[in-house]
Amino acid sequence: MRRKVTVTTITFPDLKEQLRELALLDMDKFLKLTGVDMVQVVVCSERAKKKSLQQIANKVKLSKSTVQSRCRKCGEQLKK
């Protein structure tokens, strides 16, 4: 005897809308689900605003050299 299998297809626009909704409702859960490093987001965002490495280091409570290393990753992520 065969079992009937129902397949639900989620289209890209549907998924995009669901992720947008999740981000609005529960940012921490969204970040974990998508694997986003919030510190990295802040570093790249602040650097894009032309903040100095020291200003960013103070804000995220990391050393200046760590921030510099993370800033290099911002450029690498844009190239992908």
- Distance, in Å, from the CA atom of 26 to the CA atom of 38, rounded to the nearest integer, reads 14
pLDDT attached to residue 78: 53
Q: Is residue 62 within 8 Å of 38, Cβ to Cβ?
A: no
pLDDT attached to residue 8: 62
Q: From first to last of the 80 residues of the chain, give the pLDDT tens digit.
A: 666 666 566 567 788 888 889 889 998 888 888 888 989 999 999 999 999 999 999 999 999 999 999 999 887 655 54
Instruction: Specify the pTM.
Output: 0.63
- Distance, in Å, from the CA atom of 47 to the CA atom of 51, rounded to the nearest integer, reads 5
